[in-house]
Amino acid sequence: MSLLDKFAVQRGLAASLAENSRLAPIATPMDDVHSATSATIDGRRVILAGTNNYLGLTYDAECRAAAIAAIESLGTGTTGSRMASGNYAGHRALEQALATAFGWPAAIIFSTGYQANLGALSALASEGDFLLVDADSHASIHDGCRLSHATTIRFRHNDPENLDRRLERLGDAARRTLVVVESLYSTLGDRAPLREIVEITRRHGAWLLVDEAHSFGVFGPCGLGLCEELGLLDDVDFIVGTFSKSLGGIGGFCLGRHAELELMRMVSRPYIFTASPAPSAIAATHQALRSVLRGHDLRARLWRNAERLYAEVARLGYRLGTTAPGPVAALVFEAREPALALWQSLIDAGIYTNLMIPPATPAGLSLVRISLSAAQSVDDITQIIAALDAHARQSRPPLAA
């Protein structure tokens, strides 16, 4: 057996997808991007409905101006980690702005959201500690658990009772246990039962980290996430997030309600050994954060789009990953073929969405995931609904079956 024979399954999957679609449905190449909601794919102009650009800030004039100004004054990159030559004033200012927004004493930024989980989990938990992780958590969380060398235990997705039983079994070791959940799960768009999770975690004396990657900027009076919306910021120990969704950039962060989080800089390998984010990314993100904190109108537009789309998708008979409207609308199928057919139908109608298939999805499901944005117009949403309607009329038996 050669080194590359292990990829036989992936080779077969790639061939099957190519056979059933003239355009790559996974990692679909974009020829050009025109705005937060428009791109050219396969020579055709399409509506972007699969980008996680929830507030549409990638083309915000102030964010672009901040990025350009940073390049002019500081260059294109730092060429060093934060522990070496990459610790610029802009990095420290953004960390302070994040900490101030939450009213917490410590914030650390990372080069990507993936590294934020990798760096936080591997530093906060180590050999002899325990990580209790929701089974449907993002790959970055599971990889951070592996890097930590802590004992990792999964509990059933969004099941507080299962979490309670597992913490009960740990006994006194619960005090050395970090519970890790996402507030909004990006695959199905469902929310964690955070109030119940907080109560159980506190009762057992454990610690709690919440990943707000897909909820930051979307929920809460100031856009700080679902923990803020539910009034739980005094009950959560750590929050991880990303700059690549609502903030429209690249990078990630970990915030701590405990000042000791600052010491993590000295032990977090993904933080120590990775070049720091480029000045342009930091400047644009800092400006985007200002927009989020004052972005009531942006959030209102996003929620109008989400509520309208959810209502229409349910009316058309599609099966949704969750009934609670949100920035992610996942159309769920038991098999790959009908999901691929819908994806192809939508791209043919000028709508770009995300096709998600096993093993990247829970329970072997296949999904067509639609991401909503404040930048999408009423007409954009109307066109998405019309395309879904046209496909539903052609698909029998009913899609929700």
Q: Which domain holds residue 341?
A: 14-55+296-394
Q: Quote the number of domains for the chain.
A: 2
> What tens-digit pLDDT sequence spans the chain (401 residues)?
789 988 888 888 888 777 767 788 888 999 999 999 999 999 999 999 999 999 999 999 999 999 999 999 999 999 999 999 999 999 999 999 999 999 999 999 999 999 999 999 999 999 999 999 999 999 999 999 999 999 999 999 999 999 999 999 999 999 999 999 999 999 999 999 999 999 999 999 999 999 999 999 999 999 999 999 999 999 999 999 999 999 999 999 999 999 999 999 999 999 999 999 999 999 999 999 999 999 889 999 999 999 999 999 999 999 999 999 999 999 999 999 999 999 999 999 999 999 999 888 888 899 999 999 999 999 999 999 999 999 999 876 555 54
Domain stop point among 242, 265, 293: 293
Best CA proximity match to 377, nearest among 10, 49, 136, 2: 49
CATH of the domain at 40: 3.90.1150.10
DSSP per position, 114-163: HHHHHHHHHHH--TT-EEEEETT--HHHHHHHHHHTSEEEEE-TT-HHHH
Q: Is the pTM of this model over 0.75?
A: yes
Four-CA torsion 82, 238, 186, 383, nearest 10 degrees = -80
**The pLDDT of residue 18:** 75
Strand pairing report for 106-110 and 252-256: antiparallel
CA 229 vs CA 176, 218, 233: distances in Å: 28, 10, 9
Same domain, 183 and 38: no
At 390 the pLDDT is 96
Q: Give the Cα separation of 211 and 226 in Å (integer).
A: 10
Quick one: pLDDT at residue 193?
Answer: 98
The whole-number pLDDT of residue 399 equals 59
DSSP 332: E
Final residue belonging to a domain, choices 293, 325, 359: 293
Write the CATH number for 130.
Answer: 3.40.640.10
Residue 40: per-residue pLDDT? 97
| Alpha carbon distances (Å) from 348 to 22, 46, 107 | 11, 9, 44
Same domain, 250 and 339: no
- Please choose, from the candidates 120, 109, 126, the residue with its C-alpha nearest in 3D space to the C-alpha of residue 144: 120
Contact predicate 52/43, CB 8 Å = no
Amino acid at 62: E
d(CA 287, CA 303): 22
